[in-house]
Structures are given as structure tokens and as C-alpha cells.
Amino acid sequence: MLMDVTIDTVSPARVHALDHLEQVRRDEAFVDSLTIEDADARTRRQARELVAGVTRQRRWLDFVLGEAYHGDYDSMEHRLREILRLGLYELLFQSTPTHAAVDEYVELAKQALRPGAGNLVNGVLRTIDRDREHIPTPNTGDDAEDLAVRYSHPTWMVRRWLDRYGLEDTTELLRANNQRPMYSVRANSLRTSRAEVAEWLDEHGVVNVDSPYLEDHLRLKRLQTLIEEGLLDDGDVAVQDESAGLIVKLLDPQPGETLIDGCAAPGGKTTHAAARMGGDGTIYAIDRDEQRLERVAEAAETQGVSEMVHTETADLRAWAEQPDPPQADRVLLDVPCTGLGVLAKRADLRWRRSPEDLEEMAALQDELLDAAATLVKPGGLLVYSTCTIEPEENEHRIDDFLARHVEFDLESAEGHVPDEMVSDAGFLTTLPHKHRMDGAFAARLRRVD
């Protein structure tokens, strides 16, 4: 911690941001799990935005800084590098006036390191700012490498997307991943309506628009006012990405049915399904993470569906092997995945994944699919879903599942979700750069015997 930094001479948000970036590097902490105590809401918000932004743009920032620094940038001490990243991020992405950004980071470097570090920060940042119209661009001759640097992604990801989507769509996807994420909220239909929630948001000055795809969702850029005013505490409104809402719509649970949510935490799809069932039916919410499963129970209680939601801490694979497990009309299997559809919201995730993760996830996903299949009644429905856009975790898993399970047929998503999100094979697919929501995948699998 930077206990030696005098807060009254350096913005507290910038000091906290530097602390958190060092925690992310040193302790492999997740960006969205970091908390700030003893700070007002504005400071916390500013610090979070700085940490997420610098983490997201890290590779591009390092390229620009490396070009401007007269020395071996890769061997620069970590704290100095983080200070330079923060300063450059503000100059390039937050339009902070040069004097404000440079002066504060010079002071931060002096106090957190030594006077000479402040001089270096001053020289590097002012050099880049003075020549910002001529900032160099990557030019290795390798499109994947150049795009990966310019839009701050791992090269292996970009190479895959270029092969699949082409140059134009890949560039748009990279840009979408780097934008401040769009949020959406769901009106709990058991208690309120989207119109009533929109009226509340309007009264509190929260800019919002109706979802073009879901009748109970609204889009908004910030959640802060909802959190501060307690709108999320009474169960009338829940934060849920539209892609997740579309998966529940594809599941189409009906009143009176029995539903199994096989990987339920943190509970957004569980409670949404309960609302679509009109509060009538039985839902078994299964998850092996006890702490995260507690959030499912809390959400069910808050949203008024606790009587129909039964939480059980278990790995679905073991739970399905118990004597006479429940048989369900519908099973939702939202599996663990690489999460490569949610990179806008998960700033650090792009740096935590590797190609090897795809193979590891696929093996787990197959095991969970086989377990889920045993829980579906004859004539019942299994919906497999992910928040990734990689075919190894999506289409390939369904192809292999159908080859192993002749008792299941694939049903098209057509008629359940907007046509523009239905692939040629009949899957639900959403993409950040096309639909302004998380990237996701889902398949309807009907048990036919």
C-alpha cells in the first residue's frame, strides 16, 4: 500500500488505482473483486474506471510508452510502469487536461518512488502528448499481431477471430471489447413492469432505453444510481445482461413445471426463469460453490420466489448420480467457460486465458452435458449455454453431444429469439459488436424418447 503518499497532494482515486493495479500484478487479483474502503462513491468509481481502463488497454499503452521511452521499457520497475500507464490512459482515453494528468502523476511518482522518477514521468508523458497526432502504429506486416497490439488483446485470440470473422468484423469486435460496457436491468415481472422501472430511472436522471430484444429489459450506461438509491435491494429490478435474458427466453419455462439449473450461481437465470413461470413450479438450483450459491438463495428471497427455488451445493456430475435424482421438464446448463464473450465487462480476463483453456473447458463441458442429459424427462428440454464465442466450447460441444446421445435432437432457436441471432444451424448466438450485449451461445436439445 502507498501509505507514504500524501493524499492531499495527489488525487485519492489515482493513489487507489495505483495500489489496485499493483495488487492485480502481484497477487493476481481480479479487477472486479477489488474494493476500496474509506473513500466516497465518486473516488471509488474513478479508481475502478482507471484500473479497468488501464488493464483493458495495457498492451497498447505499453507499445506507445515503449516507443517514447529512451531505454529498455520492458525492464522498467513495475510501479513506475503502472504510473506511466495511468497517466497515458487519462491523456488518451479520458481527455484529462495535460497539466492535470501530468502534474499529478509526476507528484505520485516522486512520492511513491523518488524525485527522479517524477522527472521521467514528466518527460515521457509530455513527449507523447506533444506528438499525439503522430503516435506510431504497429506495423509488423502481420495483421493479427498489429491488431492485437493496437486494440490490446492477446495475438492468439485475434488470429482466431480473423480466421473466423475477417478483418472488418474482427476490428469491430476488438473495438466493442474495449468500450465501456453497456449494462441492462430486468424488471421483475412478478412485482413491477418495465414502464414503471423506466419511470423511476427517468425521475432519478438515469438515461435508459428499452431493450430492442426483450420486453422486460432496459439498457443503461451506469448502475451507480441504482446501487446508491437501493433500487436493486427490494427485488423489483435485477442486473442481467440481455444475452442471459435471451437464454432464459430460449429455455421458455412454463408455470407448474420442474426446472433444474445445473450451474446456477449467481442466480440471474434462476430468478428470471422463476418469474417467467409466474412463481409457480419447482426449480432446483445446483452449484458446487457454496458461497456463490448463497447469492442464488438471497436473490430468490429478495425477488419473491424462494418458495419455488431449492438450492443444493453439489457438483452436477455427482448430483446426477445420486439414487433417483429429480427428473425435470427443462434443464438449463450454463456451463463454466473461457468467457471470451464478456471481455468488455471483465477487463482482466483477456490476459488470463490461453489456447489450452479451450481444451480443458471442453472436457468439463462434455462431462456436465452428459450429467445433465440424465436429468431430462422424456420429451423434456435441455438448454446448453455459454458466455463465450469460441466454437470449441459451443457448436463443437453440441455436435459431439448429439453423436453420443441419440435420444436427443437439436431444435432451432427460431421463433424463440430474434431471427438475427439464430445461426444457420439453429443456435442462439450473440456478438458484442453486432448486438451491443455480451457474446453468448445456446442450443435447445429435445429428448425424443
From 258, 268, 211, 279, select the one nearest 238 (Cα to Cα). Answer: 268
Phi first, then psi: what are they for 444, rounded to 5°? -95, 125
- Edge to edge, what strands does the sheet with 208-210 contain? 208-210, 217-220, 183-187, 237-239
- Reported as type and span, the H/E element at residue 230 is none
Apex 314 CA angle, 309 and 315, nearest 5 = 120
Cα separation, 414 vs 424, whole angstroms: 10
From 330, 328, 342, 421, select the one nearest 386 (Cα to Cα). Answer: 342
DSSP state of 181: P
- Strand pairing partners for 238? 186
Contact 178, 57 (CB under 8 A): yes
**Is-catalytic flag, 387?**
yes
ω into residue 253 within 30 of 0, thus cis? no
State the Cα torsion 89-93-99-105 to the nearest 10°: -20
Contact 445, 409 (CB under 8 A): yes
Phi-psi region of 376 (alpha: psi -120 to 50; beta: other; left: phi over 0): beta
- Strand pairing partners for 275? none
DSSP state of 55: H
Cβ atoms within 10 Å of 63's Cβ, excluding its own: 18
CA torsion through residues 288, 291, 295, 300, sign: positive
Q: Are strands 208-210 and 217-220 parallel, antiparallel or unpaired?
A: antiparallel
Cβ contacts of 170-177, under 8 Å, gap ≥ 24: 171/147, 172/433, 173/431, 173/432, 173/433, 174/147, 175/151, 175/433, 176/344, 176/432, 176/433, 176/436, 177/56, 177/151, 177/153, 177/343, 177/344, 177/350, 177/432
**Of the listed 387, 417, 422, 445, which one is catalytic?**
387
Catalytic residue IDs: 387
